[in-house]
Amino acid sequence: MIGLIQRARHAWVDIDDARVAEIGAGLVALVCAVPDDTPERAARLAERILAYRVFGDDNGRMNIGVRDAGHAVLAVPQFTLAADTARGNRPGFSGACPPARARGLFDDFVSALSARHEAVATGRFGADMQVGLINDGPVTFWLTS
């Protein structure tokens, strides 16, 4: 699985002009399943995101993960992370997991996050979402499992 994480001061997801998810300080995790992913890989990505040290310690060094910082995670399904952009002017999406299977893997990812961390909010798979965030830093990392 692919996870693009962004450290945020505030983040939200709106669908049809209604706020469906919102967090204060924490991480926004844009998540994409690829064809060879498994529930175990979804759980591994969840654990990596929770433990990844992107928050500052007393010395200002990125030494604290979101779980230890007591912050939230906003998980958003984002199939475009698997886009093939090597040629031309239009991305190809054959590298993304088929939607029916990807939905289950995203659900596995969210379940793994929620089992390990209390403060989890999510976007909605397959929805036309408007995602907003105040990126803190900015700090953005690309993770895989």
How does 73-102 read in b/e, with b if 16+ C-beta sit within 10 Å?
bbbbbbbebbeeeeeeeeeeeeebbeeeeb
Q: Is 80 assigned a catalytic role?
A: yes
Domains of the chain: 2-138 (3.50.80.10)
Match 């979402």 to its residue by tokens: 129
Residue type, 105: L
- Which whole number is the average pLDDT over 8-14? 98
Residue 145's pLDDT is what? 87
* Cα–Cα distance, 82 to 12 (Å, whole number): 23
Average pLDDT, the chain: 96
The token pair that represents 16 in the structure block: 């049809």
Choosing from 6, 38, 55, 78, which is the catalytic residue? 78
Contact, 54 vs 48, CB < 8 A? Answer: no
Q: Is 130 assigned a catalytic role?
A: no
Contact, 2 vs 138, CB < 8 A? Answer: no
Q: Please determine, for residue 118, whether its predicted confidence score (pLDDT) is greater than 90.
A: yes
Choosing from 6, 38, 55, 80, which is the catalytic residue? 80
Q: Is 6 assigned a catalytic role?
A: no
